[in-house]
Amino acid sequence: MHTHVSWAADNLVRAAAPARSAASAAVVVAGLRKNYGAVQAVRGVSFTVEHGEIFALLGPNGAGKTTTLEILEGFRARDAGRVEVLGFDPGDRASGRAVRERIGLVLQDIAVEPYLTVRETIARNAGYYPAPHDTDEVIALVGLAGQERKKVGTSPAARSGA
C-alpha cells in the first residue's frame, strides 16, 4: 500500500488501497499553505489520495480542514504548495472548471435545503454541471425513489442532527 502523509497532529485517517504511481493519484497535495493575515490556517500539508481510496481529514475546529477542502475544490486560493485533483490544478482558472465538473460537493451549510424537496435539491445541484444525469435516474441510484416530494429537512438524518 502506498501511503505518504504529512499533517500536524496526525489528523488524517486512511483505509487500505492498492499502490499506484503518483501520476495516477486522484488527489496530490504537497506543501500546501494558506494564511489569513497572521493566522496560519494550513501549514505545509502534504498527502496523496489514490483512486478508490477512502480518506478523511480529521481535527479540531481551526485545524484547516475546511480551508484545505475549499482549496481542493477551487473555491479558495492557496498561498503556496502544489495541488492536483484528477490531474488538474483546481486553482487555475482554465482547469478549475474541469475539476468542478468532475467532482461532487456537499457544502457544510445551505440555508435553503430544509425547505426543498428531494427532487428540487437534486435538480438544483444538477444545474452545476454541463451534462447532468436525469433527476429521476439519480433519485433511483441513491435509493430515494418514492421520497421525491419529501422535504430534505424531514429526513431521519435531519431530525437527528446527523
Question: In this model, does residue 19 exceed pLDDT 50?
Answer: no
Asked whether 44 and 33 are in contact (CB, 8 A), the reply is yes
For 5-102, CATH number out of 3.40.50.300, 3.40.50.720, 3.40.50.360, 2.70.98.10 equals: 3.40.50.300
C-alpha cell of residue 83 = 495541488
Residue 109's pLDDT band (cuts 50, 70, 90): low
Q: What is the pLDDT of residues 116-129, one digit of tens each?
A: 899 998 898 888 77
Residue 25's pLDDT band (cuts 50, 70, 90): very high
Q: What is the percent of the chain with per-residue pLDDT over 70, rounded to a whole number?
A: 76
In the beta sheet, which residues pair with residue 101? none
The runs of H, that is alpha helices, within 2-160 are 65-73, 93-102, 118-126, 135-141, 156-160
Extents of the domains making up the chain? 5-102, 113-160
Q: Which residue has the higher pLDDT, 99 or 6?
A: 99
Mean pLDDT of 73-89: 94
| pTM of the predicted model as reported, rounded to 2 decimal places | 0.61
Helix, coil or strand: residue 114: helix
Which residues contact residue 132 at a Cβ distance below 8 angstroms, ignoring those fewer than 6 apart? 126
Question: In this model, does residue 4 exceed pLDDT 80?
Answer: no
Name the phi and psi angles at 37, rounded to 5.
65, -125
Asked whether 43 and 8 are in contact (CB, 8 A), the reply is yes
Mean pLDDT of 65-70: 92
Q: Hey, which of 13-22, 51-60, 103-112 has the most confident mean pLDDT?
A: 51-60
